[in-house]
Amino acid sequence: MAKRVLLVEDEPELRRAIVVRLNAAGFQCEVATNGKEGLEKVEHWHPDLVIADLLMPEMGGCEMVQRLRARHETSRVPVIVLTALPRQAKEERIEDLPSVRLMHKPFDSAELLVVINDMLAKDSAGGPSDG
Amino acid sequence: MAATPLWVLLFEDDEGQGILTKEALEQEGFLIDIYQTGRAGLDRLLQKDYHAYLIDMKLPDIQGVEILRRIMTMKPDAMCIIVTGHGDEVAAVEAMKLGAYDYIVKSPYMGHLAALPLVIREGLERRHLKDEREQLQTELWEHARLLEERNAELRRANEELKRVDQMKSDLVSMVSHELRTPLATIKEFTAILSDRIAGPLTQDQREYLSIITGNVDRLSRIIDDLLDMAKIEAGRVLLSRGFVEPLAMVDQVVQSMQPLAEGKQLTLDVKVPAGLPGVFADSDKIAQVLTNLIGNAVKFTEGPGTITIRAVEQPNELEFHVEDTGVGIAPEDLPKLFEKFQQFRRMNKSTGAKGTGLGLAICKRLIELHGGRIWATSTVAQGSIFSFTLPKYQVEEVFREYIKTCIEQAKRKQTRCSIIVAALSNFQELKALYGLEETSRLFKQLEMALRETVRRGAGDIVVRWQRGEMVIILAEVDRGGAQTIAERMKHVVAEKPFHIGAQSVDVSLVTATATYPDEARSEDELLRATERQLHEQDKPKMRVMVIDDEPKIRQFLKDALELREYDVLTAASGPDALEQLRSHPVDLILLDLMMPVMDGYEVYHLLKEDPLTKDVPVIIVTAKGERKDRQLGMEQATYNYISKPFQLEDLLAKVREVLLQRQGVRR
């Protein structure tokens, strides 16, 4: 069965681009436009992986990840956080959370797919989560 | 007498008394004007200031009290002395309330006149002192006010600076975000088209898409460079320096550049000797510089050809050279090479990706941040050599300087800086077992492992090999941050296996942190604060008892063990030992077998019978051929022995091993 990826991104065009790419790679996709909506979708749709932008209205990726980690059912779902902020910003600390990876925009789609598959593989192996 | 004459105005209607008073005062150097009516005197007052006023209470026209009131109104600072007759003290007190300085009661025989000059002088003196005091006070207040004003100004300026600084970094973040997001969309859709997810492509379409991709990549490099430059110029680039091995670093960069070079049929030739000393540098930043220089060399050299990367040792630094056989740089362009937005005007019409005009300017600043130099030499049509230097890793000598610099920076920017001291708690043991060199190598592994952990906070790592300590100097990190990093370091070390040679070793880290300006204000204080903390954490020493009748051997063992941080008790005989052990528990006993009075066997049995000592491990020191364990019913498994003559290192290893076993049992 196709793996489910939830994409949380407020830029509609970038959202569309990533969805096209993910669909082409065989993933099932669902979108949300901010962290709040993202949390609801996680609860009802149970994605295998979440991709979230860092800066979004209402609730950004950082807070969303922290909330996901705080709840038992979602404490392990892998998250890729996309950021367009300069490197080495404070936000890099969220990479200390388990199963969180940070990717900088503009990213390489091939690299994004590699990271997605890598995280999904680790997750299903049930091994220690990646910090 | 006073240098300036002291003028006194006297209100006195009685002519005789006036003359007597005048004489008395003139004798004492005063100058007197006498007025017989209040009106005349007050008129005079309009034209002239007097040092003192003497007022008779009973004048024909105006009451003395009223005169006083008017004088005080006109000249609030005037010194008035009331002269009253007997029985008029009530009026005098009234006058004092109005501001008179004093009153003097007329005596029938004019005796009061003798006191008058004194009263006036004293009054003037006091007035003078009071004025001085008041003036000083006023000046002080003025100073304080000015200081306060200056402070407020500074505060305002500082806040303004901080605000501007914040705005600048907000702007940088915003620009970065606003530019990169659309770029990500363009890049992604271009990739979708190129990958034919949206359908097949013609040859032309593919070519055009690859041009778009190239330009998107260039744009994103420009943004990166601009942000880098902005950060460097704002003093926001914090280095994370530490021990960097030149060959490993160069190899890594060269490996990543290999595909680019091969594409142009260029060979990357690394000529970096393996035995070069390390440099004190931020390996990421130096890799960035090398990548840039090698990238330029590839760009401006047509294959087939060679690009050579060299490193050469100089007395205090290492020199790195990137040498190409490319088009070269015109002599007039050489001096401008490292300036901002000076596009390379190397003489070719290269089709490769264009630069950003910032690469070399960034390289220069990064190298200079390290305390190095960068320069270029070139011959047109033959090639160019770009060179830079980095300081050797001689940090012990300049260790304090690094901390000082960090404190100064924090002072200037009104931020904090912290140091973390991480010490190997078993450094002495490891050093005794494997020697300093091997242990140092272990330290290098440790530094590599911790580098990542520290990086998030940006900091220099200075390893003090001799002390088994690593000092991490963190810029702009507060106390909480330092403690978090220290905790993370311990965590990382606990999870990672470490080796000396093929042997895996236990590494346990103790850490201490100190922060400027919260806990300490100078580099000395910072270091002392951490030393104190480390000391407190020191585990209690293991205590060993040496039982031997031979004083020389006793002393030798004592010295050797104390050098390894053990606490040592000695006993010359069995009874002596048993006596001491009653009040001083020990962790281990070294027991000589051949002793007068009570031999080792007997001591051993007594030790094993006593509940206080029966669990203490014993290492029996015997001469060869002396062992009679079997016939004495002592099973080998129950004790440890070492035969004389022994190698000291063997004995120490045995001691360590037995103590570790004991710790294991205790746990």
The per-residue pLDDT for range B597-613, each reduced to its tens digit, is 788 878 888 888 888 88
Structure tokens at B322: 């990137």
Residue B635 has pLDDT above 70, yes or no: no
Is A106 a domain residue? yes
Among the partner-chain residues B173, B183, B195, the one whose CB lies closest to the CB of A106 is B183
- Average pLDDT value for chain B: 83
Residue B435 has pLDDT above 70, yes or no: yes
Share of chain B above pLDDT 70, in %: 92
Kindly report whether the global pTM for this prediction surpasses the value 0.90.
no
For B154, the 3-state DSSP assignment is: helix
Report the half-sphere exposure of A91 (CA within 13 A, side-chain side). 23
pLDDT at B367: 95
Report the residue of chain A nearest B175, measured CA to CA.
Answer: A85
CA distance B664 to B178: 59
The per-residue pLDDT for range B297-340, each reduced to its tens digit, is 998 898 789 999 999 999 889 999 999 998 888 888 888 888 87
Structure tokens at B15: 């002519």
Residue A3: in which H helix or E strand, if any?
Answer: none
Mean pLDDT along residues B172-185 = 84
Mean pLDDT along residues B654-658 = 81
Structure tokens at A18: 């990533």
Nearest Cα residue to A99 out of A70, A71, A122: A122
Report the residue of chain B nearest A54, measured CA to CA.
Answer: B177
B415 touches chain A (CB under 8 A): no
Neighbours of B151 (CB within 10 A): 10
| Structural domain of A28 | 4-124
Is A130 a domain residue? no
Is A28 a domain residue? yes
A109 touches chain B (CB under 8 A): yes
Please answer yes or no on whether A24 and B192 come within 8 Å at the CB atom. Answer: yes
B375 touches chain A (CB under 8 A): no
Among the partner-chain residues A17, A82, A96, the one whose CB lies closest to the CB of B192 is A17
pLDDT at B654: 82
The per-residue pLDDT for range B6-50, each reduced to its tens digit, is 899 999 888 888 888 888 888 888 899 999 888 888 888 888 888
Q: Which residue has the tokens 């059912």?
A: A73
Nearest Cα residue to B556 out of B598, B596, B548, B641: B548
Please answer yes or no on whether B173 and A86 come within 8 Å at the CB atom. Answer: yes
* Total count of domains within chain A: 1
For B391, the 3-state DSSP assignment is: strand
Mean pLDDT along residues B472-482 = 84
Is A77 a domain residue? yes
| R_g over Cα of chain A | 13
| Contact between B558 and B570 (Cβ < 8 Å) | yes
Q: Is-cis flag, bond preceding A86, omega within 30?
A: no
Mean pLDDT along residues B434-462 = 77
Is A129 a domain residue? no
* CATH number for the domain that contains residue A66: 3.40.50.2300
pLDDT at B159: 85
Is A43 a domain residue? yes
Is A80 a domain residue? yes
Nearest Cα residue to B45 out of B64, B71, B25: B71
The per-residue pLDDT for range A84-105, each reduced to its tens digit, is 877 665 566 677 778 889 898 8
Least confident residue range of A31-40, B229-238, B275-284: B229-238
Inter-CA distances, B388 with B307, B309, B325, B335, Å: 16, 12, 18, 15
Is A131 a domain residue? no
